[in-house]
Every structure is written in C-alpha cells, then in structure tokens.
Amino acid sequence: MRREASILHLDLDAFFAAVEQRDKPSLRGRPVVVGGVGGRGVVATASYEARAYGARSAMATAEARRRCPPGTAFLGGRFGAYRRTSDVVMELLRELSPLVEPASLDEAYVDLAVTSPGHPGHDLSVDGVTELGRRLKERIAEATGGVTGSVGIGSSKLMAKIGSDLDKPDGLVVVPPGSELDVLHPLPVTRLGGVGPATAERLHQVGVRTVADLAAKSLSDLVALAGRAHGTGLYALARAEDDRPVVAERGAKSVSQEETFERDLTDVAVLGREIDAMAARVAGRLRGSAYSGRTVTLKLRRYDFTTLTRSQTLPHPTDDARVIASIARRLLAETGTQGGLRLLGVGVSGLSLYAQGDLFAADDDPELPDDEPAPAEAPEAAPEPPAPVSRWWPGQDVCHDELGSGWVWGRGLGRVTVRFEGPLTAPGPVRTLPADDPALHPAEPPEWRSATIDAVEATGD
C-alpha cells in the first residue's frame, strides 16, 4: 500500500442503460434493460429503475421480463454509442495522469502519483484528492450529457475499487491512509475480488461472512479451503495488502471463468448448466471490455488431478454466450466425464476489439413492445420475411427520409415501431411502419452535445 490515497477508480453508473436513457428522452426515469433481447438472452446492464424490480446483470432476460413492469424497455446494445462515450471519459482521465488502466468501457484505474511534463502532480492530501474527485465527476457528467460515475480513491487498487462501490450511484469515497481495515473489515466477504458464489459458499460454511471473519482465519486454513494461490490471495486482501500497480494499455489475451466443485461431478446435465453460467459471465466480460474472441477453450480437471484443455477456433470472433456455451458443451461431450470432474473452466482467446454487428444476442421471438399494440390490419398467417427480422432490433438508431431520426422501439408481424426523438429533443412521437419501408435506414448513434457547446470547446472560449 502507498502512504497517500493516490489511486483513483472510476466506475460509470449502469453505463449502457445510462447512455440509452441519455439518447432516448422518453426512457429517462423508466426501467431500462440492455442485453440479449431473445429468449436465451442475458442482461448486460439494468438501469437503477429496473434494479428496483430485481433485474440485474448476468440474469436471463426472460427472468428480467418477468420481474419488470409493462413498459420496461428491453434493448439490444449499441456498441458505437458506448465506445464514443467511453472515449470521452477516458480522455478526461488521461488529463489527470499519463497512467490510466481501463478495465472495461465503463471502468478504469488512475495513478494520481505519476508526474510528467504535462502532469506536474496533484495535491495528494485527503482534501486535495476529494476536491479532484468532485471536479472529475462534474466534468464527466457535463462532457457525456449526464452520464454519472462513482469514484473511489485510496492507497491501493483494492481500496479504490471498494471506495467506488460504497456509495453508488454518483458517489465519491476517499479512504484515508491508515483507515483501510476500518473500512474493509465490516464489509461482506463477497466485496473482495475473487470471492464468487462458490468461494463465498465455502467461506460461509466455515463461518466467514465478513472480511473481518476472513482476516481471523490463518493462512493455512485459507490455503486448505481455497488452494494455495487463491487462499494466499484472500489472506492478503483481508489485510488490505495490495501492491498491484496501475498498468496502462493492458493487452488482454483471454477472458475465462472456472469453478472448483465441492465434490467430483459426473452428471452431464449439471455440468452443462455450469458451462452455461460460465459462458454467460465470460460473454458479459467480453462485452463490457468491448472485445470478442475466436477461440473457445474448455478446461477440466479430473478426479486424479489430471488437467486437460480442449479448444475450437471459429472463423469469426464472437461474444455470444450461446455460441460459447454450445462449443464448450460439445468439447465436454467429446472429452467425457469419466471418474468425475473436480474443476471446469470456459475461456475465450484470440481477442480483438469488437466490430459493430450482433453485439448482443438477436431476438429469437420478435414482438412489438408491451405498450404498443400490434396493428389490427396485420395478416394472421402470413410468414415473416427473413430480411426485416434481421434488419431491425430494439434500441437501434434509425433515420427516416421524411420523419427524421429515432430509434426502434419494437418489431414484429412485418412492422417496425419507431420513436422519433434524440438526446437533444423532447420525448418524441411513435410511428409503426412497414418493416421494409424503403425510407427507413439504420443510422449512426446521435450526437448528445449541441453545436454551440462543441463550438465553444473548439475555440477554448
């Protein structure tokens, strides 16, 4: 740990949903769920209004639909809009320090102690970094059109990230040097990185529910419980011991998730469900960091501790949980579960920045939105042409030659429903159009800043 609170962690609040609410004024203050909109889709982000009904990241979209009220907006992702907004935020962070470590589109660490000719240094007193955090939050909200972020500042990456999570949304927490354990120990043990559901369950079984409970365990106890590497890491984190540096321009090579089981498993159905869950988490992390990958890898450790890996390389990169799970399940079937498995892991490598396309799973069962009735004149038995189904998706930016710019609210029965509005307009009218209307076109994400603001920034006035 450092002597000063000189590491800052920024976590943008419900980022994907916040960008959607900024760009779609009719959704402000309403529940919004962003992710896969099909029957097997997974939630990427839920707005705070949707979270009040129990929707959350990594939940099946079908479950989120059951929990959220009619009129909730279920939208596919718009990578271009998220990337543009993220770039603005990351540039503001680089004005604070040359050492910025993006963890995903909506999350980054900043080393405030680094100096350079363009960064002469900051006041690293508690008051100084508190004021710096306050100004940063104001600048982010202004530059992004109202997207908010929570800031944590501490003497390590651990404490900075803990701080950013303590007062969400739109929070600011500085952990003064010397107070780390006072802040850390009352927290649930699940607040520590690396304590997922399986590890948490094992810890709960031995009476560990808070970080203070964890700190009371000996190193040998934790190694016996979680293995040497993981147990040693937990032992250090429970004591706020974290000397990881902020590393700029990280080159991620793979994203993976693995699980060690309490007992050896042979049931293919149970292992398949584990694969589905891990694939969903891997896909969520890929999307959150704007990556996709070509190679899917299955890792398994047998009852005799023999470890095997099997991989398949795709012709095109993917971040689709369904594709990842399907390949991993096939690799498992080919490898077999003889004797039982102690560990199972799913990973994706061969990463590249995502190219706009099927960012989230396509809708398996296209339908009009809950509050937009199907047109009465729609034919009952006419088959849906394939082209319109794949052309439009909920949340997509569009432009109509006569009606102007808007976004897709829903589609189905050969129709597409569009709300004509944008980030700089009032809530706009809704029109239902033929899905093959030649005047309707896909569009780029809208600009959220007025021309006047852009002109002032360009001239420096």
* Catalytic positions, written as ranges: 107
* Omega before residue 169 within 30° of 0, cis: yes
Torsion of CA 391, 393, 399, 403, to 10 degrees: 110
Cα gap 248→253, rounded to integer Å: 15
